[in-house]
A and B are shown apart, each in its own frame.
Chain A
């Protein structure tokens, strides 16, 4: 029987080196993939991804399964590590519209994960403007003000695009989550 993601993380928290190795093996493609999507450079992405795993190992004891899946917990840690690197740069390395295309297309992996497909399908249903605003906020950590500057749209419009985008995604994902 396969050990669940959450059980593996409990093993990481308990200092079990086998569990830690299994955890890294299970997630390295996703963590490195997300880091690469955000920072755009393979060398930097490797640093970010390593950093994310070290942070996850350090904080595994604070992970609470009631708050969400282990996979999304790890990916938010990865996103935060990537944004820390990004903040030191002046511009985004990846064109957001291009990233949206990539996210929706989902690459050509043989072992696609079902939950990724579900989210990709939902993103594809959003209008391009909403999808770009959500991605700029959730992947690149841009505030509504930064998005309004970057896309040359009023602040109120940027705010409502993030908000509306998330609400529409929620409705779609809630339906497919059951």
Chain B
């Protein structure tokens, strides 16, 4: 391991990385330094927070009347485009509902039997109750960094984890492995039926302590969601 840059050398660059203005090479330089420097990582976190807050000062302005419908049309068009599967949205909604409803009703999962409409309603109620404060979502990516699913995490009693894999890179059974504070533990399995699968489990500990969630499939297939992300 080499440590090519000292704290002094990246100090000015941290501010530019925080505002998003830094050039690619500068960003690389900072990233290499941050890998070994906890102090500068914290510094960047704080400067990034400030730089983001500064954007809140922008004056509000009423957009043209058609704005909202134009945005929703563009989103709907993209959702229908060939690259996307309508099933994904349904599965994700079901997963979110299951996690939240399970958390609210102390552990009973009933997403498999409820209709989508009920799920949608239950989902919104659950969000109201939970106020979304302890809810986290992260993409599951394959080896090529292509998103193939989602992880949902919920802090509660008990805490919950829910994974949705769609499309699964390979058919078969995936073992779910959660790393919490560096320690691995098994969190059940996800058995692919059709193009994907969904599975949930309770989680010991807080979602803030979850480093990663991995799904280990047939023939060494692996997809993962990184939740620690020390570098921006």
Contact = CB atoms under 8 A, between A and B. Distances in A.
Given A66-B208, A143-B22, A53 B71 contact: yes
A106 B208 CA distance: 36
A128 interface: no
Interface string B79-91: 1000000001110
Interface residues of A, number: 87
B128 A3 contact: yes
Contact of A138 (B22, B51, B96, B139): B51
Given A7-B127, A11-B124, A166-B50, A138 B55 contact: yes
A42 B63 CA distance: 9
A121 B176 CA distance: 49
**A14, A24, A49 — most chain B CB neighbours (10 Å):** A14
Contact of B21 (A8, A105, A141): A141
A143 B95 contact: no
B56 A32 contact: no
A173 interface: yes
A170 B50 CA distance: 6
25 contacts: A10-B127, A11-B127, A13-B92, A15-B79, A17-B76, A28-B63, A29-B61, A33-B59, A33-B60, A50-B70, A54-B71, A54-B75, A57-B75, A60-B137, A62-B138, A72-B56, A75-B52, A83-B20, A106-B57, A116-B58, A119-B57, A143-B16, A162-B15, A166-B15, A169-B54
Interface of A: 1, 3-4, 6-11, 13-21, 24-25, 28-30, 32-34, 36-37, 42, 46, 49-50, 53-54, 57-58, 60-68, 71-73, 75-76, 78-80, 83, 102-107, 109, 111, 113, 115-116, 118-120, 123, 134-135, 137-139, 141-144, 159-160, 162-163, 166-167, 169-170, 173
